Structure 1
């Protein structure tokens, strides 16, 4: 599902935790009426503790603070931290806690990442409240102002009141929160929309990318940490490369938190390389960011291009149509391409048998996953 395109927004690209974390904490400390946070990952540690302290301070000055976490992704949040949040006045809810129900329901996770302050400023990206984002994982976020923020608020409110959500904050608490967001002054022409997915039933993020790739005129650059693409995406990328477009993939290298996913995706390298797609594996650290650039269109948010995101998870991305913003994203891509190892087609064709075996093994497991629904 997708929102409508709205003009008059301001989008600020915030690459690296050293930029987006200070910006988020500054916004939290300046909150006057409400804070809405939705995260997949939150585990006890330095970052989670700092976030809890900021939320306690906000609640103490009368701000309505609502924290929505995934029931599986937050299993690493210690009991004392949960108690601290609730004692500090934070309304805390969990989406779809694990239980003795269907496997499909347990696999359905809230993978979205969102921070909204006073209904006026929002942040999204691939971040979470785990210490890996402090220095071990590379991530990118976007700061959002303008009418599109109201769409993020409405998206949060629907899930907060979902029957699958449990916790201390009662349903209906979100009623009365303002969702009328004025245009960001001086930013006429920065168009954006929120696009979201919910398992295999609602594939708006995937379909939006398909449409952009099929209609691309110049470039298609995609960064994703978990690249196990659908047949439809592989076909479109190959066709675009054969048309002479600049098609590049920015993917993780050996520094990966789920190596099996990397091997499952690598089984598609050969045909993509043969079609003219260029593949770069990022070397400095694990790149956890998820963002795409097609001509002057950008999509940035929580969605990976693997079967977990496309078949099971609740996901949401911010789409932006703006030449200046696209130029900033292109510069970011170029810096990362320079810090990556490009996969050469001839060298890839000579890869050893043990590498091919791992691709086959983890590819087979991935294929089984897609048939579980």
Structure 2
């Protein structure tokens, strides 16, 4: 599903934690009315402690603070930290805690990452509240102002009120905030829309990307940490490369938190390379960012290109159609391409047997996952 295309927004690209974490904390510390945060990953550590303190201080100032965490992704948040949040007045809810119901329901996770402050400013990206984001993982986020902030608020509200989100208090609390999205009218036409996935195999994010890939004229650059694409997307990428579009994939190198996912995706390298797709593996650290660029269209948010994101998870991305923003994203891609190792077809064709075995093994496991539903 997706919101309407809306003009009059401002989008600020925030690459690396050194930029997006201070911006997010500054927004929380300046909140006057409400702070809404929805996350997949949160575990106890330095970053979680800092966020808990910031949220509790906001409550002390009279700000309504609501925190929605995934019941699996935030299992690493210790009981003491959960109690600190509740004792500090933070309204805390959990999406779909693990239970003795169907396997596929347990696989459905809230993978979205969003923060909305005072109904005026929003943030999204691939971030979580784990210490790896402080220095070990490369991540990109964005700051959002304008009419689309209201769509992010509605997205949060619908899940907070969902029967799959559990927690104490009035289930309609978010509707009583009395905060509407306010925005300045001087942004001069940065156009954007929010796109989200509901799980259960239907992902508007995937369909939107496929349309952009099919219609691109100049470039299709995709950055994702978990690249296990559908057959349909692989075919579209190959066709685009054959018709002369510059198709580049920016993927993790040896630094990876789930090496098996990397091997499963690498089994597709050969055919993509033969079609003219360029593949770059990022070297400095594990790249966890999720960005797509097709001509002057950008999509940035939580969605990966694996079966969890494309079939089971709840995801949300911010799409932007603006030449200025696209140029900034392209510059970031180019810097990261320069810090990457490019995979060439001739070399890849001579890869060792052990590498081929890993691709086959993890590819087989990946194929089994696709048949769980």
TM-score range, shorter chain: over 0.9
Which aligned pairs between 1:150-165 and structure 2 lie closer than 5 A? 150-165=150-165
Which aligned pairs between 1:300-339 and structure 2 lie closer than 5 A? 300-339=300-339
Q: Which residue of 1 aligns with 2:198?
A: 198
Q: Which residue of 1 aligns with 2:66?
A: 66
**Structure 2: how far apart are the matches of 1:245 and 1:178?**
48
Q: Which residue of 2 aligns with 1:22?
A: 22
Q: Which residue of 1 aligns with 2:277?
A: 277
SS at structure 2 position matched to 1:202: coil
**Structure 2: how far apart are the matches of 1:202 and 1:152?**
19
Q: Which residue of 2 aligns with 1:254?
A: 254
Query: What's the offset of the Cα at 1:185?
Result: 3.3
SS at structure 1 position matched to 2:318: strand
Query: What's the offset of the Cα at 1:363?
Result: 0.2
The answer to whether the 8 Å contact 1:137/1:287 transfers is yes
Q: Which residue of 2 aligns with 1:367?
A: 367
**Structure 2: how far apart are the matches of 1:175 and 1:310?**
30
Q: Which residue of 1 aligns with 2:239?
A: 239
**Structure 1: how far apart are the matches of 2:244 and 2:179?**
44
The answer to whether the 8 Å contact 1:119/1:178 transfers is no
SS at structure 1 position matched to 2:174: coil
Q: Which residue of 2 aligns with 1:145?
A: 145
**Structure 2: how far apart are the matches of 1:128 and 1:325?**
24
Note the aligned Cα RMSD (angstroms): 0.8
Query: What's the offset of the Cα at 1:200?
Result: 3.4
Q: Which residue of 2 aligns with 1:342?
A: 342
Matched, 1:38 2:34: no
Matched, 1:111 2:119: no
SS at structure 1 position matched to 2:92: strand
Q: Which residue of 1 aligns with 2:221?
A: 221
**Structure 2: how far apart are the matches of 1:131 and 1:260?**
22
The answer to whether the 8 Å contact 2:119/2:182 transfers is no
TM-score by length of 1: 0.99
Query: What's the offset of the Cα at 1:169?
Result: 4.0
SS at structure 2 position matched to 1:9: strand
Unaligned runs of 5+ in 2: none
SS at structure 2 position matched to 1:316: strand
**Structure 2: how far apart are the matches of 1:39 and 1:329?**
24
TM-score by length of 2: 0.99
The answer to whether the 8 Å contact 2:202/2:311 transfers is no
SS at structure 2 position matched to 1:7: strand
Matched, 1:266 2:266: yes
Query: What's the offset of the Cα at 1:179?
Result: 5.7
The answer to whether the 8 Å contact 2:9/2:144 transfers is yes
Query: Closer, same or farther in 2 for the Cα pair 1:271/1:9, shift >3 Å?
Result: same
Aligned length: 373
- Segments of 4+ in structure 1 off by > 6 A? none
The answer to whether the 8 Å contact 1:10/1:184 transfers is no
Deviation per residue, 1:89-144 (Å, 9 max, x gap)? 00000000000000011000000000100010000000000000000000000000
**Structure 2: how far apart are the matches of 1:90 and 1:193?**
29
Query: What's the offset of the Cα at 1:198?
Result: 1.7
Unaligned runs of 5+ in 1: none
Q: Which residue of 2 aligns with 1:136?
A: 136
